[in-house]
Amino acid sequence: QKEVEQDPGPLSVPEGAIVSLNCTYSNSAFQYFMWYRQYSRKGPELLMYTYSSGNKEDGRFTAQVDKSSKYISLFIRDSQPSDSATYLCAMSAPPGGTSYGKLTFGQGTILTVHP
Amino acid sequence: GAVVSQHPSRVICKSGTSVKIECRSLDFQATTMFWYRQFPKQSLMLMATSNEGSKATYEQGVEKDKFLINHASLTLSTLTVTSAHPEDSSFYICSARLGGGGEQYFGPGTRLTVT
Summarize pLDDT for B13-37 with one digit per residue, the tens.
Answer: 999 999 999 999 999 998 899 999 9
Closest Cα of chain B to A39: distance in Å? 10
Name the region of A78 (left: φ>0; alpha: ψ -120 to 50; beta: rest). Answer: left
Task: Please tell me which residue, A107 or A8, carries the higher pLDDT value.
Answer: A107
* pLDDT tens, position by position, A11-36: 999 999 999 999 999 999 898 999 99
Number of Cβ within a 10 Å radius of residue B46: 17
For residues A55 and A63, what is the distance between their CA atoms, to the nearest angstrom? 6
pLDDT tens per residue, range A69-109: 999 999 999 999 999 999 999 998 877 665 667 899 999 99
Cβ pair B6:A36 closer than 8 A: no
Residue B41 DSSP label: T
- Using the Cβ of B40 and the Cβ atoms of chain A, whether some distance falls under 8 Å is answered with no
Q: Residue B27 phi/psi, 5° resolution?
A: -130, 15
The pLDDT tens digits for B29-76 are: 988 999 999 988 888 999 999 888 888 999 999 999 999 999 888 999
Contacts of B63 (CB under 8 A, 6+ apart): none
Q: State whether A34 and B49 contact (CB < 8 Å).
A: no
Chain centre distance of CA B73: 15
How many Å lie between the alpha carbon of A31 and the closest alpha carbon of chain B? Answer: 8
